[in-house]
Chains A and B, each alone.
Chain A
Protein backbone atom coordinates (compact mmCIF):
# COMPACT_ATOMS: atom_id res chain seq x y z
CA UNK A 1 0.00 0.00 0.00
CA UNK A 2 1.22 3.44 -0.77
CA UNK A 3 1.64 6.23 1.71
CA UNK A 4 -1.44 8.30 2.41
CA UNK A 5 0.33 11.31 1.06
CA UNK A 6 0.48 9.73 -2.40
CA UNK A 7 -3.23 9.44 -2.49
CA UNK A 8 -5.28 12.02 -4.22
CA UNK A 9 -8.76 10.61 -3.80
CA UNK A 10 -9.88 8.20 -1.12
CA UNK A 11 -13.40 6.85 -1.00
CA UNK A 12 -14.28 5.31 2.34
CA UNK A 13 -17.29 3.00 2.36
CA UNK A 14 -19.33 5.27 0.15
CA UNK A 15 -23.00 4.39 -0.14
CA UNK A 16 -25.76 5.93 -2.22
CA UNK A 17 -29.32 4.83 -2.79
CA UNK A 18 -32.28 6.13 -4.72
CA UNK A 19 -35.41 5.22 -2.85
CA UNK A 20 -35.07 1.48 -2.41
CA UNK A 21 -32.48 1.03 -5.13
CA UNK A 22 -28.95 0.76 -3.87
CA UNK A 23 -26.68 2.37 -6.42
CA UNK A 24 -23.46 2.22 -4.43
CA UNK A 25 -22.82 0.00 -1.44
CA UNK A 26 -19.80 0.38 0.72
CA UNK A 27 -17.42 1.31 -2.08
CA UNK A 28 -13.85 2.15 -1.15
CA UNK A 29 -11.33 3.30 -3.73
CA UNK A 30 -7.92 4.87 -3.50
CA UNK A 31 -6.62 6.86 -6.38
CA UNK A 32 -2.97 7.84 -6.36
CA UNK A 33 -1.33 10.96 -7.55
CA UNK A 34 -0.63 11.01 -11.30
CA UNK A 35 -2.10 7.68 -12.23
CA UNK A 36 -4.72 6.79 -14.76
CA UNK A 37 -7.38 4.93 -12.88
CA UNK A 38 -10.07 3.05 -14.75
CA UNK A 39 -13.54 2.22 -13.57
CA UNK A 40 -15.43 -0.47 -15.42
CA UNK A 41 -18.49 -2.56 -14.88
CA UNK A 42 -21.66 -3.69 -16.60
CA UNK A 43 -24.49 -1.28 -17.28
CA UNK A 44 -26.12 -0.03 -14.12
CA UNK A 45 -23.17 -0.99 -11.97
CA UNK A 46 -23.06 2.45 -10.40
CA UNK A 47 -20.10 3.96 -12.25
CA UNK A 48 -21.76 7.21 -13.20
CA UNK A 49 -23.37 7.44 -9.77
CA UNK A 50 -19.94 7.23 -8.23
CA UNK A 51 -18.80 9.97 -10.57
CA UNK A 52 -21.71 12.16 -9.63
CA UNK A 53 -20.97 11.65 -5.94
CA UNK A 54 -17.33 12.58 -6.34
CA UNK A 55 -18.19 15.68 -8.39
CA UNK A 56 -20.92 16.83 -6.03
CA UNK A 57 -23.92 16.29 -8.27
CA UNK A 58 -25.24 13.70 -5.84
CA UNK A 59 -24.83 13.75 -2.09
CA UNK A 60 -23.67 10.47 -0.64
CA UNK A 61 -25.81 8.68 1.93
CA UNK A 62 -23.04 7.03 3.92
CA UNK A 63 -19.29 7.09 4.14
CA UNK A 64 -17.11 9.94 3.04
CA UNK A 65 -14.33 10.74 0.65
CA UNK A 66 -11.07 12.56 0.97
CA UNK A 67 -9.67 14.61 -1.81
CA UNK A 68 -6.23 16.20 -1.58
CA UNK A 69 -6.23 15.78 2.17
CA UNK A 70 -9.64 17.34 2.68
CA UNK A 71 -12.62 15.30 3.83
CA UNK A 72 -16.02 15.63 2.17
CA UNK A 73 -19.45 14.23 2.81
CA UNK A 74 -21.79 16.86 1.44
CA UNK A 75 -20.43 19.29 -1.06
CA UNK A 76 -21.58 21.45 -3.92
CA UNK A 77 -20.24 20.82 -7.43
CA UNK A 78 -18.61 24.22 -7.74
CA UNK A 79 -16.69 23.73 -4.51
CA UNK A 80 -15.33 20.40 -5.67
CA UNK A 81 -14.34 22.01 -8.94
CA UNK A 82 -12.60 24.64 -6.86
CA UNK A 83 -10.84 21.91 -4.89
CA UNK A 84 -9.52 20.47 -8.13
CA UNK A 85 -11.92 17.88 -9.53
CA UNK A 86 -13.04 18.54 -13.08
CA UNK A 87 -15.23 16.32 -15.15
CA UNK A 88 -16.77 15.57 -18.49
CA UNK A 89 -20.19 14.10 -19.09
CA UNK A 90 -21.27 10.84 -20.64
CA UNK A 91 -23.69 12.62 -22.97
CA UNK A 92 -21.54 15.70 -23.72
CA UNK A 93 -22.73 18.81 -21.96
CA UNK A 94 -21.04 21.69 -23.68
CA UNK A 95 -22.47 25.19 -23.77
CA UNK A 96 -23.86 24.42 -27.18
CA UNK A 97 -24.41 27.96 -28.38
CA UNK A 98 -21.13 29.37 -27.18
CA UNK A 99 -18.04 29.19 -29.35
CA UNK A 100 -15.33 26.63 -28.72
CA UNK A 101 -13.15 29.36 -27.29
CA UNK A 102 -15.88 30.72 -25.02
CA UNK A 103 -16.55 27.25 -23.65
CA UNK A 104 -13.01 27.05 -22.42
CA UNK A 105 -13.12 30.62 -21.16
CA UNK A 106 -16.03 29.61 -18.95
CA UNK A 107 -13.77 26.88 -17.62
CA UNK A 108 -11.36 29.63 -16.57
CA UNK A 109 -14.08 31.26 -14.45
CA UNK A 110 -12.85 29.51 -11.34
CA UNK A 111 -9.26 30.65 -11.68
CA UNK A 112 -10.01 34.25 -12.60
CA UNK A 113 -11.28 37.04 -10.45
CA UNK A 114 -12.73 39.92 -12.45
CA UNK A 115 -15.98 40.99 -10.80
CA UNK A 116 -18.53 43.63 -11.60
CA UNK A 117 -16.18 46.49 -10.93
CA UNK A 118 -13.49 45.13 -13.21
CA UNK A 119 -16.04 44.33 -15.91
CA UNK A 120 -17.41 47.86 -15.82
CA UNK A 121 -14.19 49.80 -15.63
CA UNK A 122 -12.07 47.42 -17.70
CA UNK A 123 -9.11 48.46 -15.65
CA UNK A 124 -5.61 47.23 -16.30
CA UNK A 125 -6.03 44.13 -14.15
CA UNK A 126 -9.27 43.14 -15.82
CA UNK A 127 -7.86 43.62 -19.31
CA UNK A 128 -4.75 41.65 -18.48
CA UNK A 129 -6.82 38.84 -17.04
CA UNK A 130 -9.10 38.75 -20.06
CA UNK A 131 -6.10 38.58 -22.39
CA UNK A 132 -4.62 35.77 -20.34
CA UNK A 133 -7.93 33.92 -20.38
CA UNK A 134 -8.17 34.08 -24.16
CA UNK A 135 -4.54 33.09 -24.47
CA UNK A 136 -4.97 30.09 -22.20
CA UNK A 137 -8.13 29.04 -24.01
CA UNK A 138 -6.31 29.09 -27.34
CA UNK A 139 -3.48 27.03 -25.90
CA UNK A 140 -5.90 24.47 -24.57
CA UNK A 141 -7.72 24.17 -27.88
CA UNK A 142 -4.40 23.45 -29.50
CA UNK A 143 -3.42 21.13 -26.67
CA UNK A 144 -6.41 18.85 -27.23
CA UNK A 145 -5.97 19.13 -30.99
CA UNK A 146 -8.93 21.21 -32.08
CA UNK A 147 -7.70 23.02 -35.13
CA UNK A 148 -10.88 24.50 -36.55
CA UNK A 149 -11.86 28.14 -36.19
CA UNK A 150 -12.07 29.07 -32.53
CA UNK A 151 -15.30 30.94 -33.07
CA UNK A 152 -17.12 27.83 -34.24
CA UNK A 153 -20.07 27.07 -32.03
CA UNK A 154 -19.62 24.05 -29.83
CA UNK A 155 -22.65 22.36 -31.34
CA UNK A 156 -21.19 22.62 -34.82
CA UNK A 157 -18.04 20.73 -33.93
CA UNK A 158 -17.68 17.13 -34.93
CA UNK A 159 -18.48 14.54 -32.33
CA UNK A 160 -14.87 13.73 -31.56
CA UNK A 161 -14.03 17.41 -31.32
CA UNK A 162 -16.90 17.96 -28.91
CA UNK A 163 -15.49 15.24 -26.67
CA UNK A 164 -12.08 16.85 -26.79
CA UNK A 165 -13.49 20.33 -26.22
CA UNK A 166 -15.15 19.04 -23.09
CA UNK A 167 -11.78 17.77 -21.90
CA UNK A 168 -10.17 21.12 -22.71
CA UNK A 169 -12.89 22.94 -20.80
CA UNK A 170 -12.31 20.69 -17.80
CA UNK A 171 -8.55 21.24 -18.02
CA UNK A 172 -9.13 24.98 -18.01
CA UNK A 173 -10.20 24.71 -14.36
CA UNK A 174 -6.67 23.51 -13.53
CA UNK A 175 -7.77 20.24 -11.97
CA UNK A 176 -5.74 17.87 -9.89
CA UNK A 177 -8.11 15.10 -10.89
CA UNK A 178 -9.70 14.88 -14.31
CA UNK A 179 -12.77 12.64 -14.27
CA UNK A 180 -13.88 11.43 -17.68
CA UNK A 181 -17.22 9.71 -18.17
CA UNK A 182 -16.89 7.47 -21.21
CA UNK A 183 -14.78 9.80 -23.32
CA UNK A 184 -14.36 7.27 -26.12
CA UNK A 185 -18.06 6.54 -26.52
CA UNK A 186 -19.07 6.99 -30.12
CA UNK A 187 -15.52 7.57 -31.33
CA UNK A 188 -14.07 5.72 -34.27
CA UNK A 189 -10.78 3.82 -34.06
CA UNK A 190 -8.59 6.73 -35.17
CA UNK A 191 -10.21 9.13 -32.74
CA UNK A 192 -9.80 6.61 -29.94
CA UNK A 193 -6.11 6.29 -30.62
CA UNK A 194 -5.77 10.08 -30.55
CA UNK A 195 -7.73 10.20 -27.31
CA UNK A 196 -5.43 7.65 -25.74
CA UNK A 197 -2.42 9.74 -26.67
CA UNK A 198 -4.10 12.83 -25.28
CA UNK A 199 -4.85 11.18 -21.96
CA UNK A 200 -1.27 10.01 -21.65
CA UNK A 201 -0.11 13.53 -22.36
CA UNK A 202 -2.43 14.89 -19.68
CA UNK A 203 -1.18 12.39 -17.15
CA UNK A 204 2.41 13.24 -18.04
CA UNK A 205 1.63 16.84 -17.19
CA UNK A 206 0.86 15.74 -13.64
CA UNK A 207 -2.92 15.53 -13.73
CA UNK A 208 -4.48 12.39 -12.30
CA UNK A 209 -7.10 10.80 -14.53
CA UNK A 210 -10.17 8.88 -13.46
CA UNK A 211 -11.80 7.12 -16.35
CA UNK A 212 -15.10 5.36 -16.84
CA UNK A 213 -15.07 3.43 -20.03
CA UNK A 214 -16.89 0.68 -21.82
CA UNK A 215 -14.07 0.18 -24.26
CA UNK A 216 -12.27 -2.45 -22.23
CA UNK A 217 -9.38 -2.56 -24.65
CA UNK A 218 -8.78 1.14 -24.11
CA UNK A 219 -8.97 0.76 -20.36
CA UNK A 220 -6.61 -2.20 -20.28
CA UNK A 221 -4.11 -0.51 -22.54
CA UNK A 222 -4.17 2.81 -20.78
CA UNK A 223 -4.86 2.50 -17.10
CA UNK A 224 -2.36 1.93 -14.34
CA UNK A 225 -5.01 0.44 -12.17
CA UNK A 226 -8.60 -0.62 -12.67
CA UNK A 227 -11.57 -1.16 -10.39
CA UNK A 228 -14.65 -3.13 -11.34
CA UNK A 229 -18.10 -2.26 -10.05
CA UNK A 230 -21.05 -4.59 -10.18
CA UNK A 231 -24.44 -3.89 -8.63
CA UNK A 232 -22.99 -0.98 -6.72
CA UNK A 233 -20.18 -2.99 -5.17
CA UNK A 234 -16.52 -3.03 -5.93
CA UNK A 235 -15.75 -6.59 -6.96
CA UNK A 236 -12.15 -6.19 -8.02
CA UNK A 237 -9.31 -3.71 -8.07
CA UNK A 238 -5.76 -3.90 -9.29
CA UNK A 239 -3.53 -3.67 -12.30
CA UNK A 240 -5.31 -4.51 -15.56
CA UNK A 241 -3.73 -7.96 -15.91
CA UNK A 242 -4.96 -9.09 -12.49
CA UNK A 243 -8.39 -7.75 -12.96
CA UNK A 244 -8.71 -9.35 -16.36
CA UNK A 245 -8.19 -12.74 -14.77
CA UNK A 246 -10.38 -12.20 -11.75
CA UNK A 247 -13.12 -14.86 -11.68
CA UNK A 248 -15.65 -12.50 -10.10
CA UNK A 249 -15.10 -10.02 -12.90
CA UNK A 250 -15.49 -12.62 -15.57
CA UNK A 251 -18.67 -13.82 -13.93
CA UNK A 252 -20.04 -10.32 -13.75
CA UNK A 253 -19.41 -9.71 -17.41
CA UNK A 254 -20.63 -13.08 -18.58
CA UNK A 255 -23.56 -12.90 -16.22
CA UNK A 256 -23.15 -16.57 -15.34
CA UNK A 257 -21.62 -18.44 -12.45
CA UNK A 258 -17.98 -18.20 -11.71
CA UNK A 259 -16.16 -20.48 -14.06
CA UNK A 260 -13.07 -22.32 -13.10
CA UNK A 261 -11.28 -21.00 -16.09
CA UNK A 262 -9.21 -17.97 -15.36
CA UNK A 263 -8.13 -17.59 -18.93
CA UNK A 264 -11.31 -16.44 -20.60
CA UNK A 265 -10.69 -13.06 -22.05
CA UNK A 266 -13.09 -10.34 -21.08
CA UNK A 267 -15.71 -9.85 -23.69
CA UNK A 268 -16.19 -6.44 -25.17
CA UNK A 269 -18.93 -4.87 -23.15
CA UNK A 270 -21.94 -3.46 -24.89
CA UNK A 271 -22.52 0.22 -25.33
CA UNK A 272 -23.72 2.45 -22.52
Chain B
Protein backbone atom coordinates (compact mmCIF):
# COMPACT_ATOMS: atom_id res chain seq x y z
CA UNK B 1 0.00 0.00 0.00
CA UNK B 2 2.88 2.37 0.78
CA UNK B 3 4.33 1.68 -2.63
CA UNK B 4 0.98 2.50 -4.11
CA UNK B 5 0.84 5.96 -2.47
CA UNK B 6 4.45 6.61 -3.30
CA UNK B 7 3.83 5.80 -6.93
CA UNK B 8 0.76 8.04 -6.96
CA UNK B 9 2.85 10.92 -5.68
CA UNK B 10 5.62 10.24 -8.17
CA UNK B 11 3.04 9.99 -10.90
CA UNK B 12 1.45 13.30 -9.98
CA UNK B 13 4.78 15.05 -9.98
CA UNK B 14 5.90 13.61 -13.28
CA UNK B 15 2.40 14.12 -14.67
CA UNK B 16 2.53 17.83 -13.84
CA UNK B 17 5.65 18.12 -15.96
CA UNK B 18 4.04 16.17 -18.80
CA UNK B 19 1.00 18.40 -18.60
CA UNK B 20 3.03 21.58 -19.03
CA UNK B 21 4.88 20.18 -22.02
CA UNK B 22 1.71 18.67 -23.47
CA UNK B 23 0.09 22.11 -23.37
CA UNK B 24 2.78 23.36 -25.73
CA UNK B 25 2.06 20.58 -28.21
CA UNK B 26 -1.65 21.00 -27.98
CA UNK B 27 -1.68 24.79 -28.40
CA UNK B 28 0.41 24.63 -31.54
CA UNK B 29 -1.61 21.75 -32.88
CA UNK B 30 -4.86 23.52 -32.14
CA UNK B 31 -3.81 26.53 -34.14
CA UNK B 32 -1.65 25.15 -36.94
CA UNK B 33 -2.65 21.49 -37.07
CA UNK B 34 1.05 20.76 -36.81
CA UNK B 35 3.02 18.55 -34.46
CA UNK B 36 5.92 20.64 -33.28
CA UNK B 37 8.49 17.89 -33.11
CA UNK B 38 11.12 20.27 -31.81
CA UNK B 39 9.13 21.02 -28.66
CA UNK B 40 10.86 18.37 -26.57
CA UNK B 41 14.20 19.96 -27.44
CA UNK B 42 12.90 23.31 -26.24
CA UNK B 43 12.33 21.69 -22.85
CA UNK B 44 15.90 20.43 -22.87
CA UNK B 45 17.29 23.82 -23.87
CA UNK B 46 15.24 25.37 -21.08
CA UNK B 47 16.81 23.03 -18.55
CA UNK B 48 20.32 23.63 -19.89
CA UNK B 49 19.98 27.40 -19.90
CA UNK B 50 18.47 27.36 -16.43
CA UNK B 51 21.39 25.32 -15.15
CA UNK B 52 23.97 27.57 -16.75
CA UNK B 53 22.22 30.67 -15.44
CA UNK B 54 21.85 29.21 -11.98
CA UNK B 55 25.53 28.34 -11.74
CA UNK B 56 26.55 31.78 -12.99
CA UNK B 57 24.23 33.59 -10.61
CA UNK B 58 25.33 31.54 -7.61
CA UNK B 59 28.93 32.16 -8.55
CA UNK B 60 28.11 35.87 -8.60
CA UNK B 61 26.93 35.49 -5.00
CA UNK B 62 23.25 36.03 -5.59
CA UNK B 63 20.94 34.93 -2.81
CA UNK B 64 19.85 31.31 -3.49
CA UNK B 65 16.14 32.02 -3.84
CA UNK B 66 16.76 35.01 -6.07
CA UNK B 67 19.19 32.98 -8.18
CA UNK B 68 16.63 30.24 -8.69
CA UNK B 69 13.90 32.66 -9.69
CA UNK B 70 16.18 34.62 -11.98
CA UNK B 71 17.54 31.52 -13.68
CA UNK B 72 14.00 30.34 -14.28
CA UNK B 73 13.14 33.70 -15.81
CA UNK B 74 16.22 33.61 -18.01
CA UNK B 75 15.34 30.11 -19.18
CA UNK B 76 11.79 31.21 -19.95
CA UNK B 77 13.02 34.20 -21.92
CA UNK B 78 15.54 32.11 -23.84
CA UNK B 79 12.96 29.51 -24.72
CA UNK B 80 10.43 32.10 -25.81
CA UNK B 81 13.01 33.51 -28.19
CA UNK B 82 13.81 30.00 -29.35
CA UNK B 83 10.17 29.09 -29.91
CA UNK B 84 9.63 32.28 -31.85
CA UNK B 85 12.68 31.58 -34.03
CA UNK B 86 11.69 27.98 -34.67
CA UNK B 87 8.35 29.04 -35.98
CA UNK B 88 9.79 31.81 -38.14
CA UNK B 89 12.55 29.67 -39.62
CA UNK B 90 11.11 26.20 -39.94
CA UNK B 91 7.33 26.50 -40.08
CA UNK B 92 6.15 29.86 -41.36
CA UNK B 93 7.75 29.62 -44.81
CA UNK B 94 6.06 26.25 -45.28
CA UNK B 95 2.53 27.09 -44.32
CA UNK B 96 1.27 26.49 -47.84
CA UNK B 97 3.47 23.49 -48.53
CA UNK B 98 2.31 19.86 -48.52
CA UNK B 99 1.87 18.42 -45.03
CA UNK B 100 5.04 16.40 -45.14
CA UNK B 101 7.27 19.45 -45.53
CA UNK B 102 6.83 21.12 -42.12
CA UNK B 103 7.03 17.72 -40.42
CA UNK B 104 10.42 17.19 -41.99
CA UNK B 105 11.73 20.64 -41.08
CA UNK B 106 10.47 20.05 -37.56
CA UNK B 107 12.56 16.91 -37.32
CA UNK B 108 15.52 18.78 -38.78
CA UNK B 109 15.07 21.48 -36.18
CA UNK B 110 14.95 18.92 -33.42
CA UNK B 111 18.21 17.32 -34.57
CA UNK B 112 19.90 20.69 -34.89
CA UNK B 113 18.91 21.74 -31.37
CA UNK B 114 19.95 18.44 -29.87
CA UNK B 115 23.36 18.49 -31.48
CA UNK B 116 23.93 22.14 -30.73
CA UNK B 117 23.21 21.35 -27.11
CA UNK B 118 25.62 18.46 -27.26
CA UNK B 119 28.34 20.68 -28.68
CA UNK B 120 27.81 23.33 -26.06
CA UNK B 121 27.21 21.19 -23.01
CA UNK B 122 28.80 17.91 -23.98
CA UNK B 123 27.54 14.36 -23.87
CA UNK B 124 27.75 13.96 -20.13
CA UNK B 125 25.08 14.24 -17.49
CA UNK B 126 25.21 17.45 -15.47
CA UNK B 127 23.95 17.53 -11.95
CA UNK B 128 21.28 20.08 -11.26
CA UNK B 129 21.09 20.91 -7.60
CA UNK B 130 18.94 23.62 -6.14
CA UNK B 131 20.88 25.80 -3.71
CA UNK B 132 18.76 24.87 -0.73
CA UNK B 133 17.83 21.65 0.94
CA UNK B 134 14.60 20.03 -0.01
CA UNK B 135 12.96 18.62 3.10
CA UNK B 136 11.07 15.40 2.91
CA UNK B 137 7.59 15.07 4.29
CA UNK B 138 5.97 11.83 5.25
CA UNK B 139 2.42 11.40 4.08
CA UNK B 140 1.14 8.12 5.37
CA UNK B 141 3.88 5.74 4.35
CA UNK B 142 4.95 7.76 1.35
CA UNK B 143 7.49 10.53 1.01
CA UNK B 144 7.19 13.82 -0.83
CA UNK B 145 9.87 16.49 -0.77
CA UNK B 146 9.69 20.27 -1.12
CA UNK B 147 10.73 20.23 -4.75
CA UNK B 148 7.96 17.82 -5.62
CA UNK B 149 5.40 19.88 -3.77
CA UNK B 150 6.71 22.95 -5.52
CA UNK B 151 6.38 21.28 -8.92
CA UNK B 152 2.77 20.34 -8.40
CA UNK B 153 1.83 23.74 -6.98
CA UNK B 154 3.62 25.75 -9.66
CA UNK B 155 2.15 23.57 -12.39
CA UNK B 156 -1.34 24.14 -11.02
CA UNK B 157 -0.85 27.89 -10.78
CA UNK B 158 0.53 28.09 -14.30
CA UNK B 159 -2.24 26.03 -15.79
CA UNK B 160 -4.83 28.16 -14.06
CA UNK B 161 -3.09 31.24 -15.39
CA UNK B 162 -3.06 29.85 -18.90
CA UNK B 163 -6.75 29.05 -18.79
CA UNK B 164 -7.43 32.58 -17.62
CA UNK B 165 -5.29 33.98 -20.39
CA UNK B 166 -6.99 31.96 -23.07
CA UNK B 167 -10.50 32.62 -21.89
CA UNK B 168 -10.38 36.15 -20.54
CA UNK B 169 -7.91 38.18 -22.55
CA UNK B 170 -7.89 39.67 -26.01
CA UNK B 171 -4.91 37.56 -27.01
CA UNK B 172 -6.62 34.42 -25.77
CA UNK B 173 -9.75 35.23 -27.70
CA UNK B 174 -7.68 35.76 -30.83
CA UNK B 175 -6.00 32.40 -30.27
CA UNK B 176 -9.30 30.63 -29.95
CA UNK B 177 -10.63 32.38 -33.02
CA UNK B 178 -7.64 31.33 -35.11
CA UNK B 179 -7.89 27.77 -33.86
CA UNK B 180 -11.56 27.70 -34.82
CA UNK B 181 -11.25 29.19 -38.28
CA UNK B 182 -8.09 30.97 -39.45
CA UNK B 183 -9.67 32.52 -42.53
CA UNK B 184 -12.63 33.94 -40.65
CA UNK B 185 -10.38 35.17 -37.86
CA UNK B 186 -8.29 37.03 -40.42
CA UNK B 187 -11.36 38.62 -41.91
CA UNK B 188 -12.30 39.79 -38.44
CA UNK B 189 -8.98 41.59 -38.24
CA UNK B 190 -6.99 39.11 -36.19
CA UNK B 191 -3.29 39.20 -37.04
CA UNK B 192 -2.83 35.49 -37.58
CA UNK B 193 0.96 35.61 -37.71
CA UNK B 194 1.11 37.40 -34.41
CA UNK B 195 -1.23 34.90 -32.81
CA UNK B 196 0.88 32.00 -34.04
CA UNK B 197 4.07 33.61 -32.73
CA UNK B 198 2.45 34.24 -29.37
CA UNK B 199 1.30 30.63 -29.24
CA UNK B 200 4.78 29.32 -29.90
CA UNK B 201 6.24 31.65 -27.30
CA UNK B 202 3.69 30.69 -24.67
CA UNK B 203 4.23 27.00 -25.31
CA UNK B 204 7.98 27.48 -25.11
CA UNK B 205 7.70 29.37 -21.85
CA UNK B 206 5.79 26.45 -20.38
CA UNK B 207 8.44 24.12 -21.79
CA UNK B 208 11.19 26.08 -20.05
CA UNK B 209 9.38 25.84 -16.75
CA UNK B 210 8.82 22.13 -17.27
CA UNK B 211 12.49 21.69 -18.13
CA UNK B 212 13.47 23.42 -14.93
CA UNK B 213 11.07 21.29 -12.91
CA UNK B 214 12.08 17.96 -14.30
CA UNK B 215 15.76 18.75 -13.83
CA UNK B 216 15.22 19.89 -10.27
CA UNK B 217 13.25 16.77 -9.53
CA UNK B 218 15.78 14.30 -10.90
CA UNK B 219 18.83 16.41 -10.20
CA UNK B 220 20.36 15.88 -13.63
CA UNK B 221 20.23 17.36 -17.11
CA UNK B 222 21.35 15.81 -20.36
CA UNK B 223 21.28 16.87 -23.98
CA UNK B 224 19.08 13.89 -24.87
CA UNK B 225 16.48 14.43 -22.14
CA UNK B 226 14.08 16.30 -24.41
CA UNK B 227 13.44 13.47 -26.81
CA UNK B 228 11.65 10.96 -24.58
CA UNK B 229 10.02 13.69 -22.56
CA UNK B 230 8.68 15.25 -25.73
CA UNK B 231 7.40 11.93 -27.02
CA UNK B 232 5.60 11.25 -23.78
CA UNK B 233 4.16 14.72 -23.48
CA UNK B 234 2.83 14.37 -26.98
CA UNK B 235 1.26 11.09 -25.94
CA UNK B 236 -0.31 12.93 -23.03
CA UNK B 237 -1.71 15.53 -25.40
CA UNK B 238 -3.20 12.83 -27.61
CA UNK B 239 -4.56 11.00 -24.60
CA UNK B 240 -6.39 14.08 -23.43
CA UNK B 241 -7.51 15.03 -26.91
CA UNK B 242 -5.06 17.00 -28.99
CA UNK B 243 -5.97 20.62 -29.45
CA UNK B 244 -7.80 20.69 -26.13
CA UNK B 245 -6.08 22.52 -23.26
CA UNK B 246 -7.90 20.81 -20.42
CA UNK B 247 -7.27 17.53 -22.20
CA UNK B 248 -3.52 18.14 -22.23
CA UNK B 249 -3.53 18.73 -18.49
CA UNK B 250 -5.66 15.70 -17.77
CA UNK B 251 -3.67 13.57 -20.19
CA UNK B 252 -0.39 14.66 -18.63
CA UNK B 253 -1.40 13.77 -15.11
CA UNK B 254 -2.99 10.50 -16.21
CA UNK B 255 0.05 9.47 -18.17
CA UNK B 256 2.28 10.27 -15.22
CA UNK B 257 0.13 8.06 -13.02
CA UNK B 258 -0.08 5.23 -15.54
CA UNK B 259 3.65 5.25 -15.98
CA UNK B 260 4.58 5.34 -12.36
CA UNK B 261 2.03 2.73 -11.31
CA UNK B 262 3.00 0.61 -14.30
CA UNK B 263 6.68 0.82 -13.44
CA UNK B 264 5.90 0.01 -9.81
CA UNK B 265 3.91 -3.06 -10.60
CA UNK B 266 5.15 -4.38 -13.92
CA UNK B 267 7.45 -6.81 -12.17
CA UNK B 268 4.55 -8.32 -10.23
CA UNK B 269 2.29 -8.40 -13.24
CA UNK B 270 4.72 -10.20 -15.51
CA UNK B 271 6.09 -12.44 -12.82
CA UNK B 272 9.44 -10.69 -12.89
CA UNK B 273 9.89 -11.11 -16.62
CA UNK B 274 9.76 -7.39 -17.33
CA UNK B 275 11.30 -4.89 -14.93
CA UNK B 276 10.90 -1.20 -14.29
CA UNK B 277 13.32 -0.28 -17.06
CA UNK B 278 10.39 -0.86 -19.37
CA UNK B 279 8.79 2.25 -17.91
CA UNK B 280 9.29 4.11 -21.17
CA UNK B 281 7.28 1.53 -23.03
CA UNK B 282 4.01 2.35 -21.27
CA UNK B 283 3.57 5.73 -22.86
CA UNK B 284 3.87 4.12 -26.22
CA UNK B 285 1.26 1.47 -25.56
CA UNK B 286 -1.05 4.12 -24.15
CA UNK B 287 -0.55 6.10 -27.34
CA UNK B 288 -1.38 3.15 -29.57
CA UNK B 289 -4.38 2.20 -27.47
CA UNK B 290 -5.78 5.73 -27.53
CA UNK B 291 -5.25 6.08 -31.24
CA UNK B 292 -6.98 2.81 -31.90
CA UNK B 293 -9.90 3.03 -29.52
CA UNK B 294 -10.47 6.73 -29.06
CA UNK B 295 -8.49 8.76 -31.57
CA UNK B 296 -10.13 11.96 -30.43
CA UNK B 297 -8.74 11.47 -26.91
CA UNK B 298 -10.59 11.71 -23.62
CA UNK B 299 -11.81 15.27 -23.94
CA UNK B 300 -11.33 15.92 -27.63
CA UNK B 301 -14.12 16.50 -30.05
CA UNK B 302 -14.46 13.95 -32.72
CA UNK B 303 -12.30 15.09 -35.57
CA UNK B 304 -14.55 14.51 -38.51
CA UNK B 305 -12.63 13.26 -41.47
CA UNK B 306 -11.95 16.01 -43.88
CA UNK B 307 -14.75 15.49 -46.31
Partners in one complex: yes
In this assembly, does B124 line the interface, its C-beta being within 8 Å of a C-beta of chain A? no
In this assembly, does A58 line the interface, its C-beta being within 8 Å of a C-beta of chain B? yes
Chain A minimum-CB-distance residue to B301? A19
Q: Is the interface of A mostly helix, strand, loop or mixed?
A: loop
**Which residues of A have CB within 8 Å of B301?**
19
Chain B minimum-CB-distance residue to A89? B307
Q: Interface digits, A1-35 against B, CB 8 Å rule (1 contact, 0 not)? A: 00000000000000000110000000000000000
Chain B minimum-CB-distance residue to A48? B307
**Which residues of A have CB within 8 Å of B305?**
57
CB distance from A128 to the nearest CB of B (A): 35
Expressed in whole angstroms, the Cα–Cα distance for A52 and B307 within the complex equals 8
Chain B minimum-CB-distance residue to A57? B307
Q: Interface digits, B271-307 against A, CB 8 Å rule (1 contact, 0 not)? A: 0000000000000000000000000000001001101
**Which residues of A have CB within 8 Å of B304?**
18
Q: Pick from B301, B305, B307 the residue with the most CB of A within 10 Å.
A: B307
Expressed in whole angstroms, the Cα–Cα distance for A19 and B296 within the complex equals 14
How many residues belonging to A are interface residues under a CB distance threshold of 8 Å? 5
Say which size band chain B's interface belongs to: under 10
CB distance from B240 to the nearest CB of A (A): 19
CB distance from A200 to the nearest CB of B (A): 29
Expressed in whole angstroms, the Cα–Cα distance for A17 and B304 within the complex equals 12
Within 8 A of B (CB), among A42-65: 52, 57-58
Chain B minimum-CB-distance residue to A49? B307
Expressed in whole angstroms, the Cα–Cα distance for A19 and B305 within the complex equals 15
Q: Interface digits, A207-225 against B, CB 8 Å rule (1 contact, 0 not)? A: 0000000000000000000
Expressed in whole angstroms, the Cα–Cα distance for A18 and B303 within the complex equals 11
Expressed in whole angstroms, the Cα–Cα distance for A87 and B217 within the complex equals 58
Chain A minimum-CB-distance residue to B307? A57
Chain B minimum-CB-distance residue to A55? B307
Q: Interface digits, B70-83 against A, CB 8 Å rule (1 contact, 0 not)? A: 00000000000000
Chain B minimum-CB-distance residue to A18? B304
Expressed in whole angstroms, the Cα–Cα distance for A58 and B301 within the complex equals 16
**Which residues of B have CB within 8 Å of A58?**
307
**Which residues of B have CB within 8 Å of A52?**
307
Expressed in whole angstroms, the Cα–Cα distance for A58 and B305 within the complex equals 9
CB distance from B244 to the nearest CB of A (A): 15
**Which residues of A have CB within 8 Å of B307?**
52, 57-58
**Which residues of B have CB within 8 Å of A18?**
304
Expressed in whole angstroms, the Cα–Cα distance for A57 and B307 within the complex equals 7
CB distance from B302 to the nearest CB of A (A): 8
Expressed in whole angstroms, the Cα–Cα distance for A19 and B304 within the complex equals 11
**Which residues of B have CB within 8 Å of A57?**
305, 307
CB distance from A27 to the nearest CB of B (A): 18
CB distance from A188 to the nearest CB of B (A): 26
CB distance from A33 to the nearest CB of B (A): 28
CB distance from B97 to the nearest CB of A (A): 13
CB distance from B140 to the nearest CB of A (A): 43
CB distance from B144 to the nearest CB of A (A): 42
Expressed in whole angstroms, the Cα–Cα distance for A161 and B307 within the complex equals 22
CB distance from B183 to the nearest CB of A (A): 14
Expressed in whole angstroms, the Cα–Cα distance for A18 and B307 within the complex equals 14
Expressed in whole angstroms, the Cα–Cα distance for A18 and B301 within the complex equals 11
Expressed in whole angstroms, the Cα–Cα distance for A58 and B304 within the complex equals 9
Chain B minimum-CB-distance residue to A58? B307
Expressed in whole angstroms, the Cα–Cα distance for A192 and B248 within the complex equals 50
CB distance from B219 to the nearest CB of A (A): 47
CB distance from A172 to the nearest CB of B (A): 21
CB distance from A22 to the nearest CB of B (A): 16
A/B interface sample: 6 pairs, CB < 8 A: A18-B304, A19-B301, A52-B307, A57-B305, A57-B307, A58-B307
Q: B residues touching A (Cβ–Cβ < 8 Å)?
A: 301, 304-305, 307
Closest 6 CB pairs of A and B: A57-B307, A52-B307, A57-B305, A58-B307, A18-B304, A19-B301
